[in-house]
Chains A and B, each alone.
Chain A
Amino acid sequence: MATHTVSPINPTTEEEAWEGGGSPFNVSYGKLMMWYFLVSDAFTFSGLLISYGAIRFSSERWADPNEVFNAMPFLHGWEAPLGFVSIMTFILILSSVFVVRAVQEGHMMNKKGVVKWMLLGIIGGAAFLGCQAWEWHHLITGYDHGHGMVMSDNTFGAPPVFGQLFFLITGFHGFHVFSGVVFNIMVCIQAAMGVYERRGHYEMVEKIGLYWHFVDLVWVFVFLAFYLL
């Protein structure tokens, strides 16, 4: 790769790469397409979050997140505003970090390392989903006891659209997490079977890793819109 002849197949500088034959972005087709998919997905989520903003600005009253999200599992009756969701956020960040570590071990062609960190990433993703399931369950069943919300109504004095947007957007994000966990499991199994070792590179781990970090990125803004602002 380190030849200094001007060859379009093996470009050595960024300018030469635009002569054709190689990738001016210095990434493979698959990785570039994953990036373009993520850009389009970013617009999907932006559409959802911005419509949340528009509807919120059009409503005369809105729910107070410190009141809506103040419950903690196993600590019934406690008031812990934002406590549980902070744990969820931390779990998702950690899971993202584990997958970065898997990508790095992939660069070093370390099969055991890839499988180990991917497994940790999968556990993190599953834990996040479990937390979200608890949160939804708590809100929906809490409605019967006068402190929760369903799609059509809530007890926080907010218009019903608050609950609709909450379940739509966190649900759409949760579905991304779910499919991410499924992809991670598939990649982890293939890595463990030695598919990527035979192929000579672990680029699939990188592509799925990009998707997984994107899910974490979206959570930053879901967290901002629903829990902080």
Chain B
Amino acid sequence: MAHSLDQETYEQQVKSVWVATVWLTVITIVEVVAALIWLYVVDPDGQKSKFLLNSFFIVASLLKAYFIVGEFMHVRYERRALALTILVPLVFLIWFLVAFLWEGAEWQNNRIIWDALPELPEIPDHGDHGGGHGGDHGGGHDKGGH
């Protein structure tokens, strides 16, 4: 199956690959800049909820995945049937993700109820933005996830 492209399609595809490259680069830069702005400007003490920032990261990553799968892996140009046979099984991952994060939160909940939280190492005092959020003294607080 030697499918050589004609010159015009070839040039067009080369161009769209470079466009996708620019998108991927720009999205990555925006992600890192957002993380840094959050770290240094919005929330230097690590007190605020990161819900919005994290939602942005997830959407941006899915957008990057779209460019890689669609453009680099050529799925956009494949037959619909092939695209579906590849992408539809991945729908299971949505429930996989929801169920296991839910389950993980429940493990922590059980440990709190049974007073069985593992002892964590002390947070060493270094750097200006120390790890974790400080001030944790064993059980009693409800949420550890960000």
A interface with B by C-beta (< 8 Å): 14, 24-28, 32, 35, 38-39, 42-43, 46, 50-51, 53-64, 66-68, 79, 81-82, 86, 89-90, 93-94, 96-97, 100-101, 104, 107-109, 146-147, 153-159, 200-201, 203, 209-210, 213-214, 216-217, 220-221, 223-224, 228-229
Contacts and interface: CB of A to CB of B under 8 A. Distances in A.
3 nearest A-B residue pairs (beta carbon)? A57-B104, A54-B104, A157-B123
Interface in B32-74: 32, 35-36, 39, 46, 54, 57-58, 61, 64-65, 68-69, 71-73
A213 B118 CA distance: 40
A25 B132 contact: no
B101 interface: yes
Which applies to chain A's interface (DSSP): helix, strand, loop or mixed? helix
Contacts of A58: 104-108, 111
B96 interface: yes
B89 A39 contact: yes
Interface in B98-146: 100-101, 103-108, 111, 117-118, 120-124, 126-127, 129-133, 136, 141, 144-146
B81 to A, nearest CB: 6
Given A108-B10, A220-B64, A221-B61, 14 more contacts: A35-B86, A50-B96, A54-B100, A54-B107, A64-B129, A82-B32, A86-B32, A104-B10, A155-B126, A156-B123, A157-B124, A201-B2, A201-B3, A216-B72
Contacts of B39: 66, 81
12 contacts: A25-B85, A35-B85, A46-B97, A50-B97, A59-B145, A63-B131, A66-B39, A67-B129, A86-B29, A108-B10, A217-B69, A228-B61
Contacts of B104: 53-58
Contacts of A155: 121, 124, 126
A221 B101 CA distance: 16
B73 A156 contact: no
Interface of B: 1-5, 10, 13-14, 17-18, 21, 24-25, 28-29, 31-32, 35-36, 39, 46, 54, 57-58, 61, 64-65, 68-69, 71-73, 78-82, 85-86, 89-90, 93, 96-97, 100-101, 103-108, 111, 117-118, 120-124, 126-127, 129-133, 136, 141, 144-146
B35 to A, nearest CB: 6
Contacts of B100: 50-51, 53-54
Residue of A60, A62, A154 with most chain B CB atoms under a 10 A cut-off: A60
Which applies to chain B's interface (DSSP): helix, strand, loop or mixed? helix
A86 B25 CA distance: 10
A157 B105 CA distance: 20
Contact of A157 (B64, B72, B97, B122): B122
A67 B79 CA distance: 45
Given A96-B68, A159-B120, A86 B28 contact: yes
Contacts of A108: 4-5, 10
Contact of B131 (A14, A57, A158): A158
Residue of A63, A146, A155 with most chain B CB atoms under a 10 A cut-off: A155
Given A42-B90, A107-B5, A201-B1, A60 B141 contact: yes
Contact of A147 (B3, B21, B126): B126
B25 A90 contact: yes
Contacts of B111: 58
